[in-house]
Amino acid sequence: MKEMALPARPSPPADLAGEDAELFLTLRPAPEIGEWVQRNILVDDGPINNPDHSHLIDADLCFLWASTAFTKQGRTVLGQCEQVMFRAGGWQKARQEQQMREWFGYVPQFIITLAADYCSQCSDVEFCALVEHELMHIGQQMDEF
């Protein structure tokens, strides 16, 4: 059986995943990941299309690089998918919304954040598995039909 070559994947900016990045956790918009996901995974004729994600073709989804992974309850977190919700009011909510607008130009419905330190050294297969895993968190509500 012939092994399929994976499409070239986005890499984090070198300054985000370098030694200096460990001093402070830094987040940076990663539109190149969204474009890669759309072109390779979501579209029907994408080279690594996954029909399980067909409901995401028009999803309001943005990506971020985080300079490093973090640890939560003894586990290393390499990626995180979240539905954007502000559980605050007043200036706190305004500040959070402003950050989204500065990063993306608007407030997206979903954000996937990937650890740049991991993604800069993992294999293509591991990167695809991480992205696929995070996309699976954006479920599609099924109806009775």
d(CA 26, CA 55): 31
pLDDT higher than threshold 90 for residue 102? yes
Q: Across residues 29-41, what is the average pLDDT?
A: 96
Q: Across residues 109-128, what is the average pLDDT?
A: 96
pLDDT band for 20, please (50, 70, 90 cuts): low
pLDDT score recorded for residue 87:
86
Tokens of 45: 């004729």
pLDDT score recorded for residue 18:
66
pLDDT score recorded for residue 94:
95
pLDDT higher than threshold 60 for residue 74? yes
Q: Across residues 92-99, what is the average pLDDT?
A: 95
Q: Which residues lie below 8 Å from residue 124, measured CB to CB, with a gap of 6+?
A: 6, 9
Please report, for the chain, the start and end positions of each structural domain, with discontinuous segments joined by +. Answer: 16-136
Q: How far is CA 59 from CA 64, 93, 137, in A?
A: 16, 23, 13
Question: Quick check: helix, strand or coil at residue 44?
Answer: coil
| Nearest one of 116, 84, 110 to 97, comparing CA atoms | 84
pLDDT band for 144, please (50, 70, 90 cuts): low
pLDDT score recorded for residue 57:
87
Q: What is the mean pLDDT of the chain?
A: 89
CA 132 remoteness from chain centre: 10
Find where tokens 């070198």 sit: 14
Tokens of 104: 């993306």
pLDDT score recorded for residue 1:
46
Taking the model in full, what pTM does it have? 0.88
**CB 100 within 8 Å of CB 108:** yes
Question: Quick check: helix, strand or coil at residue 113?
Answer: strand
Q: How far is CA 10 from CA 17, 19, 134, in A?
A: 13, 20, 16
Specify the DSSP class assigned to residue 67. S
